[in-house]
Amino acid sequence: MWDTLWIDAHLATMTAGGPAYGAIRDGAIAARDGRIVWLGARGDLPGAPETLAKNVRRCGGGWITPGLVDCHTHLVFGDDRAREFELRLEGASYEEIARAGGGIVSTVKATRAATVDDLVASAARRVASMTRQGLTTVEIKSGYGLDLENELKMLAVASALGARAKVRVRRTFLGLHALPPEFVEDRAAYVQLVADVMIPAMAGAGAADAVDAFCEGIGFTADEVDYVFSAARANGLDVKLHAEQLSNLHGAALAARYAALSADHLEYLDDAGISAMAMAGTVAVLLPGAFYCLRETQLPPVAKLRAAGVRLAVAGDCNPGTSPIASPLMAMNMACTLFRLTPEEALVGMTREGARALGMLDDIGTLEAGKACDLAIWDVREPAELSYWIGLDLLRARVLAGETIEGEEA
């Protein structure tokens, strides 16, 4: 007997190669022990619903998608940067503010001063907004501690959020985010500390799942990233990279050389970077929220990425500086409006490709028998509505590992 069977809904399985959205109209999906054990057309159920499952949930004729997967966030941080938002509206650029000691470094000060409890409380509010939009997996980066103790503190907060908000959390160590104030005279020493001390400590403690870096004029050079990536690999950690966001330092090609899970942002990506990513199977993570908030005009080369067969994920980049957005659906809307993704690509990007970008596609990201039963159940008539509406409450229920966490099905 199954634990739970959901009916009266269409399924957007998000599997590739079949109909749009991998749709199964008038479908049914069943879970046992937290995993999907059966899905298909309701007419193909092997018996009457009540004879098949302990709980039968009716979904009002809406759509069931995989729970949303936001594969790139920095949602743990102290304080906020509303003041910097005002300065930018008065004409200061993001880079000017960063070079003047504001920007990321100001969040580092606030994050170092915050306790674990402070950080859990402020971040829990942001995660709650996201789970109310069907989020079941989120990646959370460190990068506002910039010393071992505070980076570990941030990753511990990330883990605590998973249990508290009932989401799956992937933790990424972003040591090369900004140069901490105490190392301004000696960048090489900081890069060495990250590679030779912090990464082995993170790996030894099982504190992080992957390593990221900010490869940028105001961040770190490709050589510095290269050095840190070899340490990550030597310690058995996956890598990913903030690449080509504000300029082209050929970070995506470097990431591809390390078979990175993803290269993210990519506004200034060139043709060589696209081919390298295609060859390596590195996912392109598009972050339209940062593009929007920075009023960027250089578009990522979406059509060329598509043509080269590079997989496209969409993520929120929730952070206090360039993307104060706690809404995966808003990121999907922006991916369509600003980057010209189709609504189907946007949803694929926030489910299947987000999961691939986290190395979790075997377990989540599509509706398939054997995967974790993480579902978002929506009051929509067509899945395109998920990218279409702005600010409308669309979620009917959220299911994590077979358990209804939020909302209710009759």
Q: Which residues bind Fe ion (CB under 5 A)?
A: 317
Q: How far is CA 96 from the centre of its chain?
A: 27
Considering the complex, state which of residue 317 and residue 409 has its C-beta at the smaller distance from Fe ion: 317
Residues 6+ positions from 100 with CB-CB distance below 8 Å: none
Q: How far is the CB of 112 from Fe ion (least distance, A)?
A: 19
114 phi, psi to nearest 5 deg: -85, 150
- Give the C-alpha separation, 62 to 64, whole Å: 7
Rounded to a whole number of angstroms, the minimum distance from the CB of residue 74 to Fe ion is 6
Asked if 320 is part of the footprint of ligand DI6 (rule: CB under 6 A), the reply reads: yes
Cβ of residue 281: shortest distance to ligand DI6, in angstroms? Answer: 23
Nearest Cα to Cα of residue 315 among 287, 279, 335: 287
Which of 22, 102, 103, 251 lies at the binding interface for ligand DI6 (CB under 6 A)? 103
Residue 333 contact among Fe ion, ligand DI6, none, beta carbon within 5 to 8 Å by kind: none
Show the binding pattern over residues 162-201: x = contacts ligand DI6 (CB under 6 A), - = does not. Answer: ---------------x------------------------
Q: Based on C-alpha coordinates, what's the Rg of the chain?
A: 21
- Asked whether position 291 contacts ligand DI6 by CB under 6 A, the answer is no
Instruction: Tell me whether residue 59 or residue 211 sits nearer to ligand DI6 (CB atom).
Output: 211
How close are the terminal C-alpha atoms of the chain, in Å? Answer: 20
Nearer to ligand DI6, 194 or 386 (CB): 194
Binding mask 227-256 for ligand DI6 (x = CB under 6 A): ---------------x--x-----------
Q: Cβ of residue 61: shortest distance to ligand DI6, in angstroms?
A: 39
CA nearest neighbour of 284 among 323, 233, 303:
303
Burial 336-365 (b: 16+ CB within 10 A, else e): bebbebebbbbbbbbbbbbbbbbbbbeebb
Tell me if 106 contacts ligand DI6 by CB under 6 A: no
Cβ density class 270-299: b for 16+ within 10 Å, e for less: beebbbbbbebebbbbbbbbbbbbbebeee
Pattern 132-151, binding to ligand DI6, x per CB under 6 A?
--------------------
